[in-house]
Structure 1
Amino acid sequence: MPACQRIFLLFCLMFNSVLFAQEKEIVEDVREFQKELNEEFRNPETSPLDKDDLAEFKELDFFEIDPDFRVKAELVRTPAEPPFMMKTSTDRTPVYVKYGELYFTLKGKKFKLNVYQSQELKQDPEYYDYLFLPFTDLTNGISTYGNGRYIDLRIPETNEVVIDFNKAYNPYCAYSGRYSCPIPPEENDLDIEIPAGVKSYKDH
């Protein structure tokens, strides 16, 4: 085998090894997220489930972990946005501010999602840097909760944000009518299927 071919083969092997390691790290990270979410749901003190559902609960139903649904997005800040009252499933109207816009490519298509900051949580030392990413997609009402799902983010140190749709989770309203849940704004409707994250729960 000529030297140039050996070098090319070695390069390919090294590249594949790095790629495999990255995907393994993503999968392990998501599995930890799933484990923590299931533990939250099993714990009577933190579970959103009604008493009868909690007694039968084993684990949430997730899509297969897919590293392709973990994307890097460019955050464009929108500092002049005024506070607004976000619609919820009840009469409650929590105050949010549009923190910025996230631009990313998924499955070869370009998308934009707005990300928000709760003005109440902003005052909490534990959640002062918390960002809220609610969204809807073409799976809603079919394999996922009809009113959309959420992703938790933190304010980044740069303009790059990692959106991992494998960590998309349902509002508490998907499990019980006892809760008041923000409804994803229309501008955060994705014209694509996102078969990643938590699936729908029973008949809710």
Structure 2
Amino acid sequence: MTTPDGDRPTDPEKWMAEVRQMRADKDEFFTDHPQSPIDPDYRDDFEGLNYFEPDPDFRVLARVRVYGNPDPIELDVTAGQPIRYLRAVIFEFELRGERIQMAGYRQESDDDRTIFIPFRDKTTGQQTYHRGRYMEMEPDDDLVNGDVVTLDFNLAYNPFCAYAETFACPLPPEENWLDVVVPAGEKSPPESIVDQ
């Protein structure tokens, strides 16, 4: 089977503007929203999150393998009891010349279509948060075997526990530890806003 190549945006400037706008919206949420993970005492020092420059090379087309009867898996969390998920799909794609498989999960009790994709890569603990990052996708319809979807690592983000230890966040399981460098998406949080 040939894995699809990357998904280059048809209008790169529009795509880049959309990514930058999403980042600006997130900075605004972190600055002002009552549910911001940043401690109110640190918000005056907040000047925005750290990101890699948007790079369309980290938008990939992934072929989907769907589990008809998803296997349950317990994901360890940063604090507290593991959380039970269903291993819903496997994404198969190429990134930086490597063929990669990565699992996507749904919460066992959740009926929505959102697929949770926690992962680590070779930037983890160096340029990016040491416990890994997340992506999510919400397909318009139920996925079936052979579907091809876009995974955009430029949208990878840190869990809230990167900003405050009061949050309990699922940790990426070993099957989603990628043996490639993924310099895309959110970097490690600014030290001035982290409550550790």
TM-score normalized by the length of structure 1: 0.82
Quick one: higher RCO (CA 8 Å, sep 6+), 1 or 2?
2
Contact in 1 for aligned 2:9/2:56 (Cα 8 Å): no
Contiguous gaps of at least 5 residues in structure 2: 1-7
Report the equivalent of 1:131.
115
Distance 1:26 1:20, change over 3 A: closer
Contact in 2 for aligned 1:129/1:154 (Cα 8 Å): yes
Are 1:140 and 2:137 counterparts?
no
SS at match of 2:183: coil
Distance 1:92 1:20, change over 3 A: closer
Q: Deviations over 1:159-198 (max 9, x none)?
A: 1221111000001111011100000000001111111101
Larger Rg: 1
The structure 1 residue matched to 2:23, chosen from 16, 24, 34, is 34
Structure having the higher helix fraction is 1
In 2, Cα distance between equivalents of 1:105 and 1:118? 27
Report the equivalent of 2:67.
78
Report the equivalent of 1:48.
37
Distance 1:91 1:37, change over 3 A: same
Of all paired residues, the percent bearing the same amino acid is 34
Q: Which amino acid aligns with 2:69?
A: A
The structure 1 residue matched to 2:107, chosen from 106, 118, 124, is 118
The structure 1 residue matched to 2:84, chosen from 95, 105, 118, is 95
SS at match of 2:25: helix
Contact in 2 for aligned 1:92/1:180 (Cα 8 Å): no
SS at match of 2:11: helix
- 1:80 is displaced (CA, Å) by 2.1
Distance 1:129 1:21, change over 3 A: closer
Q: Deviations over 1:79-119 (max 9, x none)?
A: 22232322101123222100110011112221111000012
SS at match of 2:178: coil
Are 1:183 and 2:167 counterparts?
no
> How many residues were matched structurally?
181
Distance 1:20 1:88, change over 3 A: closer
Contact in 2 for aligned 1:60/1:198 (Cα 8 Å): yes
Report the equivalent of 1:198.
186
- 1:28 is displaced (CA, Å) by 2.2
Q: Which amino acid aligns with 1:95?
A: R
87-96 or 180-189, larger mean C-alpha shift:
87-96
